[in-house]
Chains A and B, each alone.
Chain A
């Protein structure tokens, strides 16, 4: 058998990173009670801006920063519409996706890149050489580790910090939080911007590391997968990693199975990641969503 499990697992982590990044951002947004379906739009704007920033500056990390900023800026449109003008969140999110897809294509019209821009893989002194775990865990680029670090950070933030508590309160019962004197709108706007920045990073990872290239629509639906994974994870950060890796894993696996010459019709293998997501969503019987999710907040006056 030619499939190398070690390489497969390593590839899985790389494939899952963009979804993980976008999902952790959306998780924070949803914990604050806002449903932002515009993840795909924010991701792809991040992808094109990151690509341009990275290639014109010659430094991929600059590209990531640029992408995060771009994602955040685009998310502000969503924030203003839903938090200040009280628009329907589902519709606004969809509009953001369309707008983002169109805008990114326009921005990327003349984007030219060079094949030489690469993001280096890190290596740790002893850890990288451990027989099995070394290649799987310790030879990735910075963003893979950063994505896990962000997940850890969000977990700690939500669980242990006062600001995290406020965010959760806003998500569970915004009327009560408002009555207690917390600025619901500000908390939500900040959450939305964080989500936008993460989505931007995710997009940049695709255009700078994973593919790496810029072409219209390069995110190919990854933003929607991220949304599904947030639900799959029952809005808990650590479970997000499991979900992202599961999805990334199925995607990578189906390609490997094809190369292996497996006699399963290829079309069914391509469907596998999406069917797997549905099955998992069903089985997991999603835990309770934040109670105020999707409800517009208007300070009663």
Chain B
């Protein structure tokens, strides 16, 4: 394929030039990050950056850290990743699904550089993928939501119809229903990951329709603001603790904590033991953190949620344990059966009881 030609002539020359640069592989390990948003977005990118900074602190002088923020997906991403590789990076983390093809393309040109792609599914000899089992956190959110709601209407601000988001909805629903058989989920899709204006509008619409709990799979704090204004509405922090909105309306949160993974991978590069893996970690390794449950929640409910969290962390309980049927009534999981990773990775159906259709 034409790509090999580029490798032979263009990138090869570039690599040769880069090799001539001050010893990069020996002294410091150069770690690069490509972010899809600004580092102060309060959510997704901010947390990747925090985790990256923790990793840098851990290694001190042994690593050199570079990053680029607000990189648009598409050819610009490919350019940015290539620039980083040309600049001598040893390992590059690309932190958005939309960077998948660009990462794989660049990786083909730089076989000696390691690439880690978040939330993707394409691997290569020098490309790993990693993601977090957010649905474990949603199980706890669902439990809390089901318990604290008084109107039995729970709102969900969903971003883009992909399996990760659908898993979250399903997991939250299953657990809310478990503790409160009368709950009803109202779901709004805004087709974006971060759009405070739309998120605020969506939150208000949900609240106006009677929801007194609002879950979100979008990245800003706008829903919290809307909930605070309305009063009497509970929310959960997304990707970041958003503790400044606690104890009310924010009663808990899912915190993205990538630091342990980042430290692991950079260490592997330093030790020379790096290989391409597919990592999907959850609460047990600390990748998914559960934010401190606020005191507004009754003590027994808080204990219940914390027990659930501990059970998941210990591997004793899987959020998707049968009997569970699909939305159309067909059986999916038998009693006691747990969902396989494969099923979860491609999940594109609601479970029984969720109303509405998945946009497609």
Contacts and interface: CB of A to CB of B under 8 A. Distances in A.
A42 to B, nearest CB: 17
Contact of B196 (A114, A215, A263, A270): A215
B220 A256 contact: no
Interface string A242-267: 00000000011001101111010111
B333 interface: no
Contacts of A11: 201, 204-205, 208
A209 to B, nearest CB: 10
B244 interface: yes
A215 B209 CA distance: 27
B206 interface: yes
Contacts of B195: 220
Interface residues of B, number: 39
Interface string B229-247: 1000000000000001100
Given A213-B225, A259-B188, A267 B359 contact: yes
A211 B197 contact: yes
Contacts of A15: 201
Interface string A196-221: 00000000001000111101101010
B197 A206 contact: yes
A210 B225 CA distance: 10
Contacts of B357: 263, 265
A19 to B, nearest CB: 12
B71 to A, nearest CB: 14
B41 interface: yes
Contacts of A7: 208
Interface range for A = 20 to 34
Contacts of A216: 38, 70
Interface string B316-360: 000000000000000000000000000000000000000111010
A259 B202 CA distance: 8
Interface string B249-269: 000000000000000000000
Given A115-B225, A216-B38, A265-B359, A258 B196 contact: no
Contacts of A259: 155, 186-188, 202, 205-206, 209, 211
A206 B222 CA distance: 12
A57 interface: no
Interface in B1-56: 38, 40-41
Contacts of B221: 115, 213
Contacts of A267: 191, 359
B194 interface: yes
B200 A211 contact: yes
B179 to A, nearest CB: 22
Contacts of A3: 208-209
Given A211-B196, A220-B195, A252 B201 contact: yes
Contacts of B228: 115
B156 to A, nearest CB: 9
Interface string A74-85: 000000000000
Interface string A178-204: 000000000000000000000000000
A282 B221 CA distance: 39
A58 B317 CA distance: 48
B67 interface: no
Nearest to A212: B225
B224 interface: yes
Contacts of A255: 188, 201-202, 205
B2 to A, nearest CB: 35
Contacts of A115: 221, 224-225, 228, 244-245
A270 B41 CA distance: 24
Given A211-B197, A255-B201, A2 B209 contact: yes
Nearest to B211: A259
A196 to B, nearest CB: 22
A12 to B, nearest CB: 11
Given A8-B208, A206-B197, A266 B189 contact: yes
A260 B355 CA distance: 10
A266 B194 CA distance: 18
A59 interface: no
Contact of B197 (A4, A118, A218): A218
A270 B189 CA distance: 10
A203 B342 CA distance: 46
Contact of A4 (B187, B200, B208): B208
Interface in A109-129: 110, 114-115, 118
Nearest to A258: B188
Given A211-B222, A215-B41, A259-B155, A4 B209 contact: yes
A259 B214 CA distance: 12
Interface in B137-194: 153, 155, 186-189, 191, 194
Given A252-B205, A258-B188, A270-B191, A2 B153 contact: yes
B210 interface: yes
Nearest to A265: B359
B269 to A, nearest CB: 32
Given A206-B197, A213-B220, A215-B194, 17 more contacts: A3-B209, A8-B208, A11-B208, A15-B201, A115-B221, A115-B244, A211-B197, A213-B225, A215-B196, A216-B38, A216-B70, A251-B201, A252-B201, A256-B205, A256-B209, A259-B206, A266-B359
26 contacts: A2-B153, A2-B186, A3-B208, A4-B209, A8-B208, A114-B244, A115-B224, A206-B197, A210-B200, A211-B197, A213-B222, A216-B70, A251-B201, A252-B201, A256-B209, A258-B187, A259-B211, A260-B186, A260-B209, A261-B355, A261-B356, A263-B357, A266-B189, A266-B359, A267-B191, A270-B191
4 nearest A-B residue pairs (beta carbon): A2-B209, A255-B205, A7-B208, A266-B359
